[in-house]
Chain A
């Protein structure tokens, strides 16, 4: 299940360091956002979500930040582990149940 291949932006991080993956979304009317993780050969897997009435939400080792002013979303992964290596997608929903997915960022965790 590789997604976008040759032209995917790649973030390389040392194991144990924090990772920050960014996403610019397109529609100022979007009110719900999701981060997905996709490992090779698998479908996207839900990580964390946030609604537009919030600017920060925390999960286990992950934090999502939303800046509606500049239409920017970020995913922070604390203490990055080898198992975090994957492609990460943001998805926005404009309220119609149709999600717009970003092109993805490949995270490589270096041992």
Chain B
């Protein structure tokens, strides 16, 4: 079975540029989560969706960050404009229901110069 698929695996760009991270959850999973992982703050939840609807975006750091889920098989996390402090590994995860284990993708390593 295919797991959660994220792209790109690595992204290096200059500050001020728009960055779009992509995620394909596991088929049939109703919940999708976006996380950010840094050395200083560990793993932080940014936003999660249920049946393509954003439920809680309280973890989104600021208005520069936005996330969409246009259908059950695709989600994007966008940063515009990007800043060096956005450098981190961004993970997408999905779960069958809200109260079950999340399955993580292998992440996108983002470096903003």
Give Cα distance in the complex from A93 to B107, angstroms.
Answer: 22
Among listed B12-20, B38-46, B62-70, B76-84, interface-contacting one: B38-46
Closest chain B residue to A44 by CB distance? B104
Pair A43/B101 contact, Cβ less than 8 Å: no
Pair A5/B39 contact, Cβ less than 8 Å: yes
Pair A45/B104 contact, Cβ less than 8 Å: yes
Instruction: Report the minimal beta-carbon distance from B9 to chain A, rounded to whole angstroms.
Output: 9
Q: Is B99 an interface residue (CB 8 A)?
A: yes
Contacts of A96 in B (CB 8 A): 56
Which of B31, B37, B98 counts the most chain A CB atoms within 10 A?
A: B37
Contact with A101, one of B42, B48, B89, B98 (Cβ below 8 angstroms): B42
Q: How large is the interface on A (under 10, 10 to 19, 20 to 34, 35 or more residues)?
A: 20 to 34
User: Interface readout for A38-55 with B: 1 if CB under 8 Å, 0 if not?
Assistant: 000111111001000000
User: Interface readout for B96-113 with A: 1 if CB under 8 Å, 0 if not?
Assistant: 001101111111010000
Instruction: Report the minimal beta-carbon distance from B33 to chain A, rounded to whole angstroms.
Output: 8
Name the interface residues of A15-70: CB closer than 8 Å to any CB of B.
Answer: 32, 34, 36, 41-46, 49
Residues of chain B at interface, number, CB under 8 A: 25
Contact with B99, one of A5, A97, A103 (Cβ below 8 angstroms): A97
Pair B98/A97 contact, Cβ less than 8 Å: yes
Contacts of B91 in A (CB 8 A): 1, 43-44
Pair B56/A98 contact, Cβ less than 8 Å: yes
Give Cα distance in the complex from A102 to B45, angstroms.
Answer: 12
Q: Is A4 an interface residue (CB 8 A)?
A: yes
User: Interface readout for A83-111 with B: 1 if CB under 8 Å, 0 if not?
Assistant: 00000010001011111011110000000
A contacts, CB < 8 Å to B: 1-7, 32, 34, 36, 41-46, 49, 89, 93, 95-99, 101-104
What would be 14 A-B contacts, judged by CB atoms less than 8 Å apart? A1-B37, A1-B91, A2-B39, A2-B89, A3-B43, A6-B39, A32-B99, A42-B106, A43-B107, A44-B43, A46-B103, A97-B50, A98-B48, A102-B42
CB-CB nearest 9 A-B residue pairs: A43-B104, A97-B98, A101-B43, A46-B101, A5-B39, A44-B104, A43-B106, A1-B107, A103-B42
